[in-house]
Structure 1
Amino acid sequence: MGSRTLDIWRGVACVLLSILATTGAYAASRGTDTTDIHYDITVNIDPVARSIEGRSVITANTPEELTLVLGRRFGVMHARVDGTSLGPAASMGKMRAWGIPGISGEGQLPRRIEVHWKGDLSALDASLDHSQTLGRDEPASGEAGTFLPDSSGWYPYIAGKLASYQVNIELPAGQRGIVPGRLMEESDSDKGYRARFEFPSPTGGIDLMAGPYAVETSAMRGAGGKSIQLRTYFHPQIADLAPAYLDSVKGYIELYESWIGEYPFTEFSVVSSPTPTGFGMPTLTYLGIEVLRLPFIRSTSLGHEVLHNWWGNGVYPDYAKGNWSEGLTTFMADYAYKERGSPEAALDMRRGWLRDFAALSPGQDASLASFTSRTHGATQIVGYNKAAMIFLMLRDLLGRETFDRALHAFWREQRFRVASWADLQRAFEAASGRDLTVFFDQWLTRAGAPVLRIAEAEPVKSDSGHHRVTVTLEQGDPAYRLHVPVAIHTAEGEELRTLDLEKPRQTFMLDIGAQPLKVTLDPDLRLFRRLMPEEAPPILRQVMVDRTAATVLLPESGDARGAAETLATKIQNRAPKLVSATDSPPVVPTLVIGLQDQVDAWLARHQLPERPEMVGNKGSAQAWTVRRTNGGTLAIVSARDLASLVAVTRPLPHYGRQSYVVFDGAKMIGRGSWPTRSQVVKLD
C-alpha cells in the first residue's frame, strides 16, 4: 500500500514532468507553501448511468508556457483561455494535451482557463484482485462505489505543476463523495448530495471517491492545538468498525506528531472501497472493504497510510531523482511497529527483506535512484524494503537521537515542497556534522547489494595470555564501504564488534576478553546485502519475481489444466513460460503445479525429495519450496482436486515470503520458512 497522488504518474504528464523539471518549470514549485495554479472544479457524477460532467476554472498566476491535459475518453464542450477558444489538442496515449503559450506581461496575470467536459465512466469491477486494482487507471463507477484516480485524467490539469484546489461534488441521493482536502460544507437531501472540499496547499493531483457511505466523525486536538476532524466513510456492511478505526487514527497522528512534527492537515478520513484497494492520499486512505475487515490492518497498514501524510503527501518526492517516501514510511511504520513489538519480530522482518532480495535474479535489482513507484514485486523489494533497511543502517550509524533530529529538520524545511534524496542527505549531514556522500552514493546509485563472506577466521596465540582473533572479510569489486557487524562467541559469552570494511578483501585483528570459539557474520541481519545460498532458504517469491522462472503444468488437459495455468499467471503476474513435464526441470527457478498424485509421481520420476513432513497431504492444497543440488529453486503447488486448485488462486500469491503454506479451501491453515543459517566459522 502506498501514496497514490504522486506515486503513479499521470499518463503523458510523467514525460512532461521530467522535461519541465530540467527546464526549471517544475522546480519553480519548490520552496514555497503557495502555488501559482488553482483549480475550481464542479463535477456531477451519476453512478448508475456511469456518467460525469464537469466544469473547471483554472487560475494560473504565471506567465510561462503551460500544458493543459485531460483524459481522451472525455468530450470537451468548450475550453477557453482568457475568453479565447483553445485550438485542437494533441493526442498522447490516453490523454489529450493543449499547449498554452506564455505571455510577456505580468499585468495580464492571472490567466483564466475554463473547461467544460463530460463523458462515460468504466463499470466498477469488484472481481479484480489487489495487484490488478493497483495498476488500473480507469475512472470507474457503479452503485457500490466510484473511484476516479488522478492518473486517469478525469479533470483538466496543468502538467508538471503543483496546485491548490476547490472541488464541488454533486451526487444522487444516497451517495456521498470525498476528495483529499478539507470538507467546507455539505448537504444531503432527496434532491441529491452536495459537498465542497478545499486543498489550499500545493499538491500533485486529485483522486475522487464516492459510494453509499455511512459517515462517522470524531475530533481531536493536534500537537499545536489545531482541531483535526477524523471521519470514516464506510459501506453499511462494515459501519460497525468505525469507532475502532477512528481511535486508531487518533493514536497514529499523536505518535507521528511527537516523532516528526505537527500533522499538516485539518482532517483524516478512512474510506472503504468495493474493490481490494490500498491507497494513501493527503488527508485520507482508500482501503478495500475486505481489507478493512482484517483484524491486523488497524495495527499495520493503517498507520502506514496515516504516515504518508508526512512523507509523500506532506513532502513530495522528486521522482526524477528517486522516490524516498515509500522506504522512509516503511521504516517508520511497518518496521517501527515490529520494533515496538519485540526484537524477534523486528529481526524477522529484516530477515524477510533480505530473503526477498535474494529471490531477485541479476538485473531485477535496479538502483534506488531509479525507483519511482511499485509496479510489481521486484520494485517493491527495492523501493520499499531495501530503502527501509538503508534508513535502518543510517540510524545505526548516526544514533537514534541524531536520526530523529534530522527528520524533524527535514519536515520543518521541506513541508509541502518537492524534496529529493539529496535534500534528505543534507538534513542528516547537518544534524550529524558528518559527510555522508559515500553512504548515500553507494546505496542510491548502485544496483544490487554487496555479497559478503568470512574468508578466514583464526585465533591468535599470545604469550601474554591475551585472546585475539583475526577475521578476513571478502566482498565483490568495486567494494562498498561497510560497517559490518560480527559476533565473536567465547567461552564466557558473545562479543559484538563492527568492522569498517573498505576493500574487496580485508583482515582485522580483534582483542577478545575470553577464549574465542566461533565467529558469526552480521548475526542480527542489520546490513543490507545479498545473502549467500546457505543463508537464504528458498521461498515462494523466487518464482514470483524472477523473470527467468519456468513453469511446469502437470495436468495435461481439461479444466484442471486451465486452472493450473490461471494460477501460474496469478502467481507470476505474467503469462507463464511453460516447459514440458517430461523434461528434467531447468536450472532456473521453476514453478510446478498439479494435483497431488501428479505431483508425487513427478517428484519421484525426477528423483527429487518427497513432500516435507510439515506439508504432507494436510488441508486441501499445499505449496512448498525445494533447493536442488544445482542451486535451482523449485516451488511446488499440489491440490487435492480441481476445486482445491481453484480455491488457492486468489490467496496463494500473497504468501511469497513463505517457504511452505497449507490451505483448507481458500483459508491458510499453516505456513512457515525453512531455517536460516548464519555464516559461522568455528575456531580451532
Structure 2
Amino acid sequence: MNKFLRRVFAARHIKECLLVLMLSVSMPVMAEQPAMHYAITVAIDPASRQLQGRSIITVAQGGHFELMLSRRFKVTALRAVGFRIAQEAAHQRGLQIWQLTAGKDGPFRIEIDWQGELAVLDTSLDHAQTLGRPIPVTGAEGTFLPNAAIWYPQIAGALASYQVDLTLPYGQRGLVAGRLLNESESELEGYQAGFVFQQPAEGIALMAGPYTISSATLQSAASNKTLSLRTYFHPSIADLADDYLESVKHYIHLYERWIGEYPYSEFSVVSSPTPTGFGMPTLTYLGVSVLRLPFIRMTSLGHEVLHNWWGNGVYPDYASGNWSEGLTTFMADYAYKEQESDEAARDMRLDWLRDFNLLAPSQDQPLLAFTSRTHAASKIVGYNKAAMLFFMLRDLLGEATFDRAIRTLWQQQRFRVTAWQDIQRVFETVSGRSLDHFFSQWLKRTGAPALQISQATYSRSEQRLSLMLKQTAPVYDLRVPILVRSQSGAEETLFLDLGAESQSYQRVLSELPKEVVLDPDFRVFRQLAADETVPILREVMVNQTTRTLLLFPHQAAAYRVAYELAGRMQGREPEIERSPIAMDDERPVLVVGLGSQVDDWLVQQGLPAMPAEIRQESASAHAWTVRRPNGATLAIVAVKDEASLSKLGRALPHYGRQSYVVFSGPAVIDRGVWPMRPQVLPVQFLP
C-alpha cells in the first residue's frame, strides 16, 4: 500500500468504524428511514492514483441481494454477519458480483476492504465523452468517482443512507453529497472530512481537487433552518465564489417559495477540470470552463439547484420514465425565459418544436421510455417534450391549480421513488378532474400531431366566423389557440377544443375579421408546418440519417480536418457520401469545402449560391443552411483555407440553432435565423 494511504488509513480505522457502527445500530428505525446504510472510510492519493477503502454495510431486512464492485479494485477482506455469501465473485460487465442471502430478522452487516488504482484524469474530454466513460479518475487537477463507476461496494438497485469519511493529501480537498460533519487539514495527516446523508440515496459520487473553499449561510424562507453554502473552486476561478454563492441564495429562496422547504442542510458548487456538468443532492459539479461563462449563473446553476427538489429530492422511477428532467427544465430554464419576456418564452417553445422536427422517426421515443440524456436526440424528447407537457398542463388547469399540485407533489413524494402515474394522480386530486387521456397521449405515443386551418369564412349577415380545423391521425385531444386578426388591427384569441381529425367551429364576432393564425405562440406540442420551420444547422447535427460530403478530393490533410469537424458537429462518426446526391433524397446533407469548391458544387447541383446578405469578404468561414426543393435540409460550410477550417472544430458545433454563422478566425462576426412564417389563412366572406 502507498505510504500516505497506509499512515492515514491505520490512524482512522478504529475510531471511524466504531463511530459509524454505533450510529447505524443506535438510530431508531422509522418508516421513512432507508433499509440500508453504508459506512465508508476512503483514502485517495492522486499522485500514485491509489484508492484504499473500508465499508460497513448495514441491512435492516433479510432477502436476496447482489453486492457489486468494479473489477479494477481488489477485495482484501470480506466478512458477512448474518448473511450467507459466496466468497468467489462472478465476473460480468466489468463487475465483481457476490450473491448474498439473509433471513427475515435483521439487522445484517457486511464488512469489506478494497483497494486499487484509479484511471488517469484526461482534461481534454468534453461533457459527452465524460458521460460516455463513467470510470473513476484522478490527477493533480481533480478526482471524480461517479457512482456509475461502482467505485465502492454497493448493493444493486437499493437506495441507502451513508456516511463517508474521506482522506486526501495536504493541498487537496474533496466531498460527497451530504451534510459536512467534520473537516481538518494538516501537513502530516492531510485533508480529512466526514459527510453523512441520512435520506435514501441512489448512489455516491466523490469529487476532489486543489480547491479553494468559500462559504456563506442562508436562512431558509420556509423554516428556521440555517443552510450552509459552499464553493469548492480551482484557484483560477476562486474570485467567482461570492457571485455564485449569492446566486445560490436567490435560487433556493425562489424554489422554497414555489415548491416548499429546501430538503437538505447545505448546497455546494464544485468545479471540475473537465467541461462537464452534473447535479447531485446538495451539490452541482461543473467544469471550470463552464463556470467562467457569464450566463451560467443565470441559467444552468438554477437548473442544478432545482434538481434538489426534482430528481434528488423526489426520485424518478426510471422503469416508467424519467419525468424529473422535463419538470426541472420547465421550472428552471423555461421559467427564466418567462421572467425575461413573453417573446423569450415563445422563442424557447419554438426551439423545442423546431428541435423535434429535426428528429428522424427512429430517434423518437415515448416519454415513458426516456431514462437519461445520452445524446442530443434523447434530450429533445426527455427534456423539451416533457417540459412542453408541463407547460400544456398548466395551460389546461390554470397557474394557481398547477402550483398547488406542484407543492402537493413535493409534500407527498419527498424522498420517494415516483412514477409518471404518481404525478398524474396528484394533479388529478388537486384539480378534481380526470387527466388520463392527457397523460396517456403525451406519455405513450411517439410523434406529434400536425395541425391545419383548412377553412375560414365569415357570414356578414350573421356576423359569424366559421372555422375548420384538421389534425393528422392518431387523434389527440387538444386545446388549440387561434388568433383572429380584424380588419381594424384588433386581435382576439380563441381556444378551440379539437378531438377529431376534422372539426368545425362557429363564433360570433363584433368586428370584421381579416385573417386567422394557428397557434401563433406555439402553445401546443405539434409538428411544425413547412412555412413555420426554417432550416438550421442543428438539423445535420441531430438527425442520425445525415450524410456528409467533403469537397477535398486531392487534399488529404484538409480532408482529415473536415472529417473531424463533421464528427464534432454530429457527435458520431460521419457517414461520408461518395456519390452525387440524388435530389429526391430526403435525408439532411452536410457539405464542407473551400469557398471556390463550394461555389462550383452549388452550380452543378442547381442550388442557389451563398446568400448575398451573409457574404463578407473579410470572413474566414461561412456556414449556412438551404432548404432543398424536396424540403430536405442542406448545411454548407465554406472556408477560406485549411487554417480557417481547423479553427471551426470547437466553435461551430455550439451554433446549431442558427441558420447561418460567419467567422473571422475563431470569432463569430455574424449569425442569425432565416425568417419564419406562421400558419395564416385569409378569411373568405359570405353574404
Q: Given the two structures, how large is their TM-score scaled by the length of structure 2?
A: 0.92
Q: Could you give the per-residue CA deviations for residues 574-595 of structure 1, whole angstroms, max 9, x where no partner exists?
A: 1111112655564310011112
- Distance, in Å, in 1 between the alignment partners of 2:431 and 2:31 is 26
Give the C-alpha shift of residue 392 in structure 1: 0.5
User: Which aligned pairs between 1:620-635 and structure 2 lie closer than 5 A?
Assistant: 620-635=620-635
CA distance, structure 1, for counterparts of residue 608 and residue 548 of structure 2: 19
Q: What letter is aligned with 1:577? A: E
- Do the aligned partners of 2:85 and 2:98 also contact (CA within 8 Å) in 1? no
Tell me if the contact between 2:85 and 2:99 (Cα under 8 Å) persists in the aligned partners. no
Mapped partners of 1:95, 1:674: distance in 2 = 51
Q: Give the whole-Å Cα distance in 1 for the aligned partners of 2:368 and 2:35.
A: 29
- What is the alpha-carbon distance in structure 1 between the residues aligned to residue 344 and residue 375 of structure 2? 26
1:55 match: 54
Partner Cα separation in structure 1 for residue 405 and residue 438 of structure 2 = 16
User: Partners of 2:85 and 2:52 in 1: how far apart?
Assistant: 19
What does residue 155 of structure 1 align with? 152
Aligned match for 2:533, one of 533, 536, 540? 536
**Structure 1 regions of 5+ residues with no counterpart?**
1-30
The 5 Å alignment of 1:18-167 reads 33-82=32-81, 86-104=86-104, 106=105, 109-167=106-164
Give 2:175's match in structure 1, choosing from 174, 178, 188. Answer: 178
Measure, in 2, the Cα distance between the counterparts of 1:501 and 1:593: 45
Counterparts of 1:175-254 in structure 2, within 5 Å, are 175-191=172-188, 192-222=190-220, 223-254=222-253
- Point out 4+ residue stretches in structure 1 off by more than 6 angstroms: none
Q: How does 1:220-619 map to 2 (within 5 A)?
A: 220-222=218-220, 223-462=222-461, 466-492=462-488, 493-556=490-553, 557-580=555-578, 582-584=580-582, 586-617=585-616, 619=619
Cα separation, 1, equivalents of 2:504 and 2:470 = 9
More displaced stretch, 210-219 vs 183-192: 183-192
1:646 deviation in Å?
A: 1.6
Q: Deviations over 1:76-100 (max 9, x none)?
A: 1122211876421122212221110
Task: Report Cα offsets for 1:412-461 as digits up to 9, x if no partner.
Answer: 01111100111111111111111000000000001111111112222223
In structure 1, C-alpha distance between the alignment counterparts of 2:507 and 2:133, rounded to whole Å: 56
Q: Is the 8 A contact 1:129 1:276 kept in 2?
A: yes
Q: What SS does the corresponding residue of 1:518 show, helix, strand or coil?
A: strand
Rounded to whole Å, the distance in 2 between the matches of 1:579 and 1:32 is 61
- Give the SS at the match of 2:361: coil
Find the aligned partners of 2:620 and 2:61 in 1 and give their Cα distance. Answer: 64
Counterpart position of 1:669: 669
* Greater shift in the superposed pair: 568-577 or 613-622: 613-622
After TM superposition, the structure 1 stretch with the greater mean CA deviation from structure 2, 342-351 or 649-658, is 649-658
Cα 1:116–1:85 change in 2 (3 A) is: farther
Matching residue's letter, 1:425: Q
**1:631-654 Cα distance to aligned partner (Å, 9 max, x none):** 111011122222221211122222
Distance 1:581 1:554 in 2: 12
User: Which string of whole-angstrom CA distances, capped at 9 and with x for unpartnered residues, describes residues 179-207 of structure 1?
Assistant: 00011101111021111000000010011
Q: Which amino acid aligns with 1:488?
A: V
Tell me, what secondary structure is at the counterpart of 1:592? Answer: strand
TM-score by length of 1: 0.93
SS at match of 2:531: helix
Given residue 650 of structure 1, which amino acid in structure 2 is its aligned partner?
Answer: R
Q: Partners of 2:518 and 2:436 in 1: how far apart? A: 26
Letter in 1 for 2:472: G
| Matched letter for residue 257 of structure 1 | E
Judge conservation of contact 1:170–1:194 (CA < 8 Å) in 2. yes
Work out whether residues 79 and 86 of structure 1, in 8 Å CA contact, stay in contact via their aligned partners in 2: no
Q: How far 1:247 moved relative to its partner? A: 0.2
How far 1:480 moved relative to its partner?
A: 0.3
Which residue type is aligned with residue 363 of structure 2? Q
Q: 8 Å contact 1:32–1:416 — kept in the other structure?
A: no
Q: What secondary structure, in the 3-state scheme, does the structure 2 residue paired with 1:532 have? A: coil
| Alpha-carbon distance between aligned partners in 2 of 1:73 and 1:285, rounded to the nearest angstrom | 27
Are the equivalent residues in 2 in contact too, given 1:55–1:116 (CA < 8 A)? yes
**1:648 aligned residue:** 648
Residue identity matched to 2:165: N
> What is the one-letter code of the residue matched to 1:469?
L
Q: Distance in 1 between matches of 2:587 and 2:287?
A: 36
* Structure of greater relative contact order (alpha carbons < 8 Å, 6+ residues apart): 1
Q: Alignment partner of 2:671: what SS?
A: strand
SS, match of residue 98 in structure 1? strand
Q: 2 CA distance for matches of 1:638 and 1:133?
A: 31
Name the CA distance, whole Å, in 1 between partners of 2:582 and 2:417. Answer: 53
Q: Secondary structure at the match of 1:101?
A: strand
Distance 2:196 2:102 in 1: 28
CA distance in 2, matches of 1:428, 1:587: 42
Distance in 1 (CA, whole Å) between partners of 2:447 and 2:351 is 17
1:514: how far off?
Answer: 0.7
Structure 1 position 660 matched with structure 2 position 660: yes
CA displacement, residues 146-173 of structure 1 (integer Å, 9 cap, x when unaligned): 1100000000111111000000111111
8 Å CA contact 2:85–2:101 kept in 1: the answer is no
Q: What is the identity percentage for the equivalent residue pairs of Structure 1 and Structure 2?
A: 56
Contact 1:173–1:188 (CA under 8 A) maintained in structure 2: yes
Question: Does the CA-based 8 Å contact 1:539-1:625 persist in structure 2?
Answer: yes
- Does structure 1 retain, via aligned residues, the 8 Å contact 2:586–2:631? yes
Query: CA contact under 8 A between 1:328 and 1:388: conserved in structure 2?
Result: yes
Moved more, 361-370 or 86-95: 86-95
Residue segments in structure 2 that go unaligned for 5+ positions in a row = 1-29
Q: Does the CA contact (< 8 Å) of 1:32 and 1:417 recur in 2?
A: no
Cα distance, 1:74 vs structure 2: 1.1
Instruction: Give the conservation status (yes or no) of the 8 Å contact 2:449–2:473.
Output: no
Deviation at 1:407, TM superposition (A): 0.5
What is the DSSP-based 3-state SS (H/G/I as helix, E as strand, rest coil) of the residue aligned with 1:253?
A: helix
Q: Distance in 2 between matches of 1:330 and 1:621?
A: 34
3-state SS, counterpart of residue 525 of structure 1: coil
Give the distance between the partners of 1:287 and 1:664, measured in 2 at CA: 30
Q: CA deviation at 1:261?
A: 0.2
* Cα deviation 1:250-309 (Å, max 9, x = unaligned): 000000000000000000000000100111000000000010000000000000000000
Question: How far is 1:59 from its partner?
Answer: 0.4
Aligned to 2:13: none
Equivalent in the alignment of 2:23:
none
- C-alpha distance in 2, partners of 1:435/1:603? 56
Partner SS state of residue 256, structure 1: helix
Say whether the 8 Å CA contact 2:85–2:100 is kept in structure 1.
Answer: no
Provide the aligned C-alpha RMSD in A: 1.4
DSSP-derived class of the 2:363 partner: coil
Deviation at 1:619, TM superposition (A): 3.0
Q: Matches of 2:336 and 2:581 in 1, distance apart?
A: 47
CA distance in 2, matches of 1:351, 1:411: 30
